[in-house]
Every structure is written in C-alpha cells, then in structure tokens.
C-alpha cells in the first residue's frame, strides 16, 4: 500500500508543477530548486548513515565475531602454515625487531570459491588476538564519485577505534572479493573504481609498523590475475597465499570436522566419501554432511548411513532429483548412454566407476559418478585420450545400438573438445608446441575432428566387444534406477568370463 501511494505521489507532483507553470502561469522554478535541495540533503544524510555501516556492523555497536582457531579449519595445511608464519611477524614483536624485520601490511588469499578464505581471515584475528573487521568489495562502489574512497577511510578508522576501545594491540581488516575495487586500471571511465583503489593504496601506505594499534589487511579474491600491479607489489600485499581445493587427505579432515555434531552409523567410511568427492571445496563438503543429515531425518533414521552420504554427494554435484517423466524408449536410450560411459571408464581405468544412475538430477537425465583412485594434477597424453574416450562412450553406445546419436551427447562433446584444447595448448598433439592464440578456427576444427574421430573409433570398437554387458546391465538399471560400482564391475567380470569360456569352447 505504501509503495502504491509513493508511485501516485511521484506521478502527481510533476504533473501539478507543470500545470501551475505553463497553464496557470505561476513561476514554479524557485520551488523546484528548493525541492531539489531538500532531496539532495536527504540523500547526503542517508549516505552518511550508510557509511557508518561497514561489513554489516554499525559504529558504536560492534558485533564480536565468534573466535575461530586454525585447528577448526581442515584441508588447508600448507595455506595455514604460510599464514601462521606471516602472522608471527605481528605476534613475536621482540624477535622480529631483533632481526630488523618489517611486519607485513597485507596478505592476499587467492583461490576458488568455498575453499575457506574467510575462515582463515577470522582464524588470523584469533591467532593474533586482534579486532576483526570485515567488509565486501561491493560495499565500497557506488554510482556517486567519492563514496567508495570515503568508505575505505571509514573502514580503517573504524578498525583503529575498535582496537583502541577493546584495548587490543592490533586489528585485522578483511576485504572479501577485493578484485571489485582492486582491478587493473586501464585509463577508462571508471573514475569511481580508480578513486576507491587509490584510497586503499594510500591507506596501506599509511600503515606504519610502529603505530599502535597495528593494522593488518587481508584480502580475498577468486581472480588474482585481475588485480592491479600497484596493489600486489611488496610493501602492500607482501604475502600471496594460494587457498586451493583440498586433496583427499584434506577432504577427509574437513568431513570429520563437520561430522563432529552429527550421529554417524558405525558402517560409515568417511575415507571413501573423501575419495568420491574429488574436486569438492570445503563449502561443498560441509553441504554434503548437512544434506546427508537432512536425508537421514527425512527417513526418520537414528543415524546417518553411508547411503545418505552417497545421496548427498549426488545432490551437491548434480542437484536435486526432478519430476520429469520420460518414455520407455527414452529411458532405455539414456540407460545405454550412461552404461556406455561406465563401461568405457572401467575399460580405460578399472575400478573408477562409483555409481551409474538413471534418475534425473538437474539438467541431466542420468549420470555416472566416477571414483578416482588418486588425485591427479599432471596429465599425460595417454590419460587425456582416455578421458576423451570416456566422454565419448555415451555417444558411441547410442551409435552401437541405435545407429545414431541424440542431443544428450552435447555436454559430452563440450567436455571432449575442452580436453582437446588442453592437449593442443600443452603441446601434446601432432602440432607440437604451439601458441593456441595463433590457431585459426579452421585449424582448430581440423585438429579437433582428427583427435575426436580417432578416439571415437577406438571406443566404439572396445564397446562392441562388450555388447552383452549392456544387455545384462540394462535390465537392472531400468528396474532399479541405480547400479552400484561394485555390482556393475561384477556384471562386467562375469560377462568377460562367460565370453572367455565361449571362445575356449569354440576353439576346442
């Protein structure tokens, strides 16, 4: 109702002013200037009120952050070690002054989303017994020039005031998504961004190591390459710490941390869940534990089982199950498509299939969850060619049984072409070492077609030799909608054994 009245007023008063000015003949220009002055004053007052709010905290009413130690953060041992070493420059004042070491002014945390950069900043404040003040890069950018720079000044001022009020010797300022205000300056028209960045550089230069309280600025970004070089130089952000996705050991540690307050069944093997969650961030792993507890509560179970955790991985990875209904022909085609991926994966990398599912999740009508035996960070040509074969396995299976493909292979082809691009840029193709930017579209098309056709022929020949596995697994998958990795491998091994017996009998 209030918005409705406001809209009527906004439309009525301009019309009234125009009527009095041009129809009645009254001079309304002084009144218009007066109203504009009042609106401007109201905006200034409101802006000043917003400036008092930094990072969701209002001046005069600081909200203390819950203490967080480094022991409560899992999966980032190397990052924690580097950060603690940098923070010791603040903690061990006498020792660093003896060696003439200058305390650090800024620490940059760079890495993918959900890896724990904010948690590390909070733990840094706890470790150094400092006041913690947080803000996001978007809070400093407005359409009006000068507002962002003013908020930067107020942020540093607030940190010093809070530290003095709390009788602390130091304060930690954390700016999340710092690339919003710290992006590279290109001399364009983004004057507001430039002024905000210039003010941040000035404030960092004004941090003197002998001043009390001392200020440590911690910035976090997902795109370090976009930051301005003036911000990254020594004397400002002195330490650049990469906060990467956790490895298997780190994932296991994170899962155990988030499982402390949850009732787990005795059969639960968190190590296996850590294997199946390759590529997950800390935030995704926390979501896995949370979703598994929701599944257990939904089924009125007393404890969280391994099945609940497996279902939670599928939900976090693919999304919730959908209600889409498909015809029998579509279900069989999808089942054969996914079995093509699964059989290809087992032939290329035995033991890698964790589950084959026919239930729709997100945009996928079916999926295969892989279980890598170990984390990989370097890839050979043979490994990448195997990944292409696995990606093309679904389309190859459709051609094998239906004589043609469907639109369900589109995502597989995108994945395969992305692998080809990585191979070309890494010098793992017949082109040798070459700069990808020098490749013409026609040359890209030629090399991509050559590699994909070669791997498609290979995987079609391999799948044709295991045609009976499709037929035996199809009935199980269509009836039960899911096929566990162990059961799938058993079907594959049984059919291979039966084929060997038939070959021996035919030879005899």
Query: Is pLDDT at 72 greater than 70 in this prediction?
Result: yes
Query: Pairing between strand 57-58 and 53-54?
Result: antiparallel
User: By 3-state DSSP, what share of the chain in percent is helix, strand and coil, each rounded to 5?
Assistant: 60, 10, 30
Residue ending a domain, choose from 296, 318, 340: 318
Residue 57 maps to a domain: no
Tell me: do 458 and 370 sit in the same domain: yes
Query: Is 314 in the same domain as 332?
Result: no
Spatial CB neighbours of 22, under 8 Å, sequence gap ≥ 6: none
Q: Which of 238, 144, 138, 234 is nearest to 178 (CA)?
A: 138
3-state SS, one letter per residue, for 441-503: HHHHHHHHHHHHHHHHHHHHHHHHCCHHHHHHHHHHHHHHCEEEHHHHHHHHHHHHHHHHHHH
Catalytic residues: 338
Higher-confidence position of 466 and 287:
287
Q: How far apart are CA 403 and CA 394, in angstroms?
A: 13
204 and 90 assigned to the same domain:
yes
One domain, residues 387 and 442: yes
Neighbours of 261 (CB within 10 A): 8
Is 368 in the same domain as 313? Answer: no
Do you know the residue count of the chain? 508
Confidence of residue 181 (pLDDT cuts 50, 70, 90): confident
Token pair of 20 as six digits:
């009095």
Calpha distance 2→480 (Å, rounded) = 55
Q: Which residue has the higher pLDDT, 98 or 119?
A: 119
Q: How confident is the model at residue 304 (pLDDT cuts 50, 70, 90)?
A: very high
How many distinct structural domains can be found in the chain?
A: 4
- Residue 134 domain-assigned (yes or no): yes
Other C-beta atoms lying within 10 Å of the C-beta of residue 52: 13
- Residue 297, class by beta-carbon neighbours within 10 Å (0-12 exposed, 13-18 middle, 19+ buried)? exposed
User: What's 80's domain CATH number?
Assistant: 3.40.50.300
Q: Is the dihedral of CA 180, 185, 186, 188 positive or negative?
A: positive
Q: What is the pLDDT of residues 235-252, one digit of tens each?
A: 889 889 999 999 888 999
For the cut 70, the answer to whether the pLDDT of residue 272 exceeds it is yes
- Mean predicted lDDT score pLDDT of the chain: 82
| pLDDT of residue 6 exceeding 70 | no
Examine the pLDDT at 8 and tell me if it is beyond 70: no
Does residue 508 sit within a domain?
Answer: no
Report, as an integer, the average pLDDT of 468-483: 85
The pLDDT confidence band at residue 448, using thresholds 50, 70 and 90, is: very high
Domain that holds residue 184: 70-242
What is the model's pLDDT at position 52?
44
Confidence of residue 63 (pLDDT cuts 50, 70, 90): very low
How far, CA to CA in Å, does 111 sit from each of 118, 122, 221, 250, 327?
11, 17, 7, 15, 44
């Amino acid at each position: 109702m209030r918005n409705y009245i406001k809209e009527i007023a906004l439309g009525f008063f301009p019309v009234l002013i125009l009527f009095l000015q041009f129809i009645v003949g009254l001079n309304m220009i002084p009144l218009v200037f007066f109203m504009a002055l009042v609106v401007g004053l109201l905006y200034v007052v409101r802006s000043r009120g917003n400036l008092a709010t930094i990072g969701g905290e209002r001046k005069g009413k600081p909200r203390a952050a819950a203490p967080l130690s480094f022991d409560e953060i899992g999966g980032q041992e190397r990052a924690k070690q580097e950060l603690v070493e940098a923070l010791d420059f603040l903690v061990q004042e006498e020792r660093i002054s003896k060696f003439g070491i200058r305390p650090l002014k800024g620490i940059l945390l760079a890495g993918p989303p959900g890896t724990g950069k904010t948690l590390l900043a909070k733990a840094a404040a706890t470790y150094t017994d400092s006041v913690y003040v947080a803000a996001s890069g978007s809070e400093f950018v407005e359409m009006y020039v000068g507002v962002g720079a003013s908020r930067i000044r107020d942020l540093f001022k607030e940190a010093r005031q809070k530290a003095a009020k709390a009788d602390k010797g130091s304060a930690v300022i954390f700016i999340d998504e710092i690339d919003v205000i710290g992006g590279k300056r290109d001399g364009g028209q983004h004057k507001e961004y430039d002024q905000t960045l210039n003010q941040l550089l000035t404030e960092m230069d004004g941090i003197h190591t002998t001043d009390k309280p001392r200020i440590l600025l911690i910035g976090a970004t997902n795109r370090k390459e976009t930051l301005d070089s003036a911000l990254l130089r020594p004397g400002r952000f002195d330490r650049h710490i990469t906060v990467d996705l956790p490895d298997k050991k780190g994932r296991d540690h994170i899962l155990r941390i988030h499982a402390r307050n949850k009732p787990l069944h005795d059969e639960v093997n968190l190590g296996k869940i850590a294997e199946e969650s390759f590529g997950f961030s800390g935030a995704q792993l926390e979501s896995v534990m949370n979703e598994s507890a929701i599944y257990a509560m939904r089924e009125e179970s007393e404890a969280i089982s391994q099945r609940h955790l497996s279902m939670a991985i599928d939900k976090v990875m693919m999304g919730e199950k959908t209600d889409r209904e498909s015809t029998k022909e579509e279900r069989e085609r999808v089942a054969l498509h996914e079995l093509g991926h699964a059989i290809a994966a087992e032939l290329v990398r035995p033991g890698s299939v964790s589950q084959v599912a026919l239930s729709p999740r997100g945009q996928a009508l079916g999926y295969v969850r892989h279980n890598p035996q170990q984390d990989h960070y370097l890839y050979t040509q043979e490994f990448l060619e195997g990944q292409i074969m696995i990606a093309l396995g679904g389309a190859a299976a459709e051609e094998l049984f239906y004589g043609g493909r469907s639109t369900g292979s589109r995502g597989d082809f995108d994945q395969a072409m992305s692998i080809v691009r990585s191979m070309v840029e890494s010098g793992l193709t017949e082109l040798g070492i070459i700069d990808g930017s020098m490749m013409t579209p026609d040359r890209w098309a030629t090399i991509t077609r050559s590699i994909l056709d070669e791997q498609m022929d290979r995987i079609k020949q391999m799948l044709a030799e295991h045609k009976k596995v499709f037929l035996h697994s199809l009935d199980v998958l269509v009836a039960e909608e899911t096929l566990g990795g162990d059961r799938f491998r058993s079907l594959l091994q049984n059919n291979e054994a039966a084929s060997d017996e038939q070959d021996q009998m035919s030879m005899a």
